[in-house]
Structure 1
């Protein structure tokens, strides 16, 4: 949670396909959770997708015409909802309860702070967000000259430190979540 705004910051991890965005998130999320932060994620996808499996009850509910179908267990909640537009991360943030930080994968056109993962071998001659005012950091092992902090793909601890310091993060969501549950 941002200690100044009491809202979780939204940071988008962006880059060309095959640069390692998902891999970076797979390594960054456990580092932040190890430090006591609750992390929410949003993956942007431009096409239709199915999370449910054909024949399952919730799939049948949705395909029978339900606008929203929720699956609930003592361990997880899943929701599929029809929407009328492509939602921005700040529109989705209220769905991410009790988190300290929201990391998105994608949303390179959005106005939230962005971390670009750059690998020239993935097809880009230079970072796609070069000159973007919302670029706050670059993750790359290539030599790149930009006016933002640069992190090696292996330096996850330093990237986590940067996010905590730069966005004034405090691990308060877990405490608030536990207090609300008691």
Structure 2
């Protein structure tokens, strides 16, 4: 079963950049990673003009595109659950989850401003760690392990320790 860890923060907090860097770091350590991203507002769209978009717009319930290096799946589904999707990637080492603030998996709170740091109080359960690049953030006051947002190896080490990997 893959270890699941989330990265939660408000818009422009650095979540995507951190997850992308962690994918590279964890791949170098020999892990296989999947990413699940929450699109809470339904903004994701298939690329305009592609065959798969034409099929979706024509009313197909599912479109599966197979290419030499991967599969892309689009499936219409009301209120898909994160838990249901995670089971499809249980064969991997880790699933990094971006967003899904209200789900119960362990999360690292990510923020770049004092306003964004309110994510710490917004998460239930509370985060297992925080990652920020704020120079003036008082790490001593934080009740959680705290990391510089750019310390990708340190965050990867924490994730390995948290799950008892390696």
- TM-score category of the 2 structures, normalised to the smaller one: 0.7 to 0.9
Gaps of 5+ in 1: 1-6, 171-182
Q: Residues 83 and 155 of structure 1: is their aligned pair in 2 closer, same or farther, counting only changes over 3 Å?
A: same
Aligned partner of 2:155 in structure 1 is 159
Q: Residues 50 and 117 of structure 1: is their aligned pair in 2 closer, same or farther, counting only changes over 3 Å?
A: closer
CA distance in 2, matches of 1:134, 1:100: 24
TM-score (norm 1): 0.79
Aligned partner of 1:64 in structure 2 is 58
Secondary structure of the structure 2 residue equivalent to 1:23:
helix
TM-score (norm 2): 0.86
Aligned residues: 161
Q: C-alpha root-mean-square deviation of aligned residues, in Å? A: 2.0
Higher strand share: 2
Q: Residues 120 and 48 of structure 1: is their aligned pair in 2 closer, same or farther, counting only changes over 3 Å?
A: closer
Asked if the contact 1:100–1:169 (Cα under 8 Å) also holds between the matched residues in 2, the reply is no
From 3, 8, 15, the counterpart of 2:2: 8
Asked if the contact 2:2–2:90 (Cα under 8 Å) also holds between the matched residues in 1, the reply is no
Gaps of 5+ in 2: none
Deviation of 1:134 after TM superposition, in Å, equals: 4.1
Q: Which runs of 4+ in 1 moved over 3 A?
A: 130-134
